[in-house]
Amino acid sequence: MSTIHPTAVIHPGARVGQDVSIGPFACIEEDVVIGDGCHVGPHASLLRYTALGARCRVHAGAVLGDWPQDLSFAGAVSSVRIGSGCVFREGVTVHRGTKEGTATVIGDQCYLMANSHVAHNVKLGNRVILANGVLLAGYVEVGDGAFISGNCLVHQFVRIGRLAMLGGGSGIGQDVPPFMTTHSMGLNAIAGLNVIGLRRAGIGSADRLAIKRAFALLYRAGLNVPDAVARIRAEIPEAPAQELCDFVAGAKRGICQARRGVMASATSASEES
């Protein structure tokens, strides 16, 4: 049974599922869809063309589906599409797509912490975590299981690969390949491999070793990027290494580079044995 506070403002054109809780002074506009089992907190706003999957929680003051911060936006019919089991903490903002028929898309089981921002046409995969104060500019793409630490800044059109982890306060203007970490308070600086994240994601030891070998060729062998990709494709057939190659080959802004002397231990095979 749904529980809706009498001060909540819900447009009759909104579709609200079963067992939904909506708190005081929440605003639900026309053409909003709220899935079963969702909780919408006080003063939260779900604006037009926003679709929320089942069992999501929207905390106080979050705003989902507002107009994009794009000077060229002229009121196009665009949307925000959110999967199931997501959490939006206090003050989170998610903006809808900027062009006609486009969408900002958030996958399943994502966790967006307080005051993080997802701009127009961003695509988050599943189980992505944005810590407090993360700012994602327009058209950013974030792969499954990525963790973006507090106060990171990500430039428009940048891609963050699967299971990457951005250190706190990173400024990112180039693609971050899958499985990598970036330096805290650094600019486009790879720190090493996200070894803990790989283990938590259930990546087996053989695949972790393949990723480390690929990392060594990409960042420590003195090769240019195309040559490193060619070597990885030829010498390391395991799927994660090939995934890394596909990501790097698709980079349009270039990829983040490692600092000189970066984490020799990150490529030590003995650490993963």
Read off the pLDDT of residues 130-185 as tens digits, 9 standing for 90 and up: 999 999 999 999 999 999 999 999 999 999 999 999 999 999 999 999 999 999 99
Neighbours of 69 (CB within 10 A): 14
- The pLDDT score that the predictor gives to residue 13 is 97
- The pLDDT score that the predictor gives to residue 259 is 75
- The pLDDT score that the predictor gives to residue 260 is 64
Q: Whole-angstrom Cα distance, residue 89 to residue 59?
A: 5
- The pLDDT score that the predictor gives to residue 269 is 34
- The pLDDT score that the predictor gives to residue 38 is 98
Q: Which SS3 state, helix, strand or coil, does residue 198 take?
A: helix
Neighbours of 75 (CB within 10 A): 7
Residues of the chain with pLDDT under 70: 260-273
Name all domains of the chain by residue range, CATH numbers in brackets: 3-198 (2.160.10.10), 203-272 (1.20.1180.10)
Cβ-based neighbours of 200, under 8 Å, separated by 6 or more: none
Which residue type does 223 have?
Answer: L
Q: Which SS3 state, helix, strand or coil, does residue 182 take?
A: strand
Q: Which residues pair with 135 in a beta bridge?
A: 117, 153
β-pairing verdict for 141-142 and 50-52: unpaired
- Among residues 65, 21, 19, the alpha carbon closest in space to that of 42 is found at 21
pTM of the model: 0.93
- The pLDDT score that the predictor gives to residue 169 is 97
Q: Which residues pair with 58 in a beta bridge?
A: 40, 88
Which residue type does 103 have?
Answer: A
- The pLDDT score that the predictor gives to residue 255 is 96
Q: Whole-angstrom Cα distance, residue 167 to residue 202?
A: 22
- The pLDDT score that the predictor gives to residue 261 is 55
Q: What share of the chain is helix, strand, coil (3-state, %, to 5)?
A: 20, 25, 55
- The pLDDT score that the predictor gives to residue 271 is 40
Q: Which SS3 state, helix, strand or coil, does residue 179 take?
A: coil
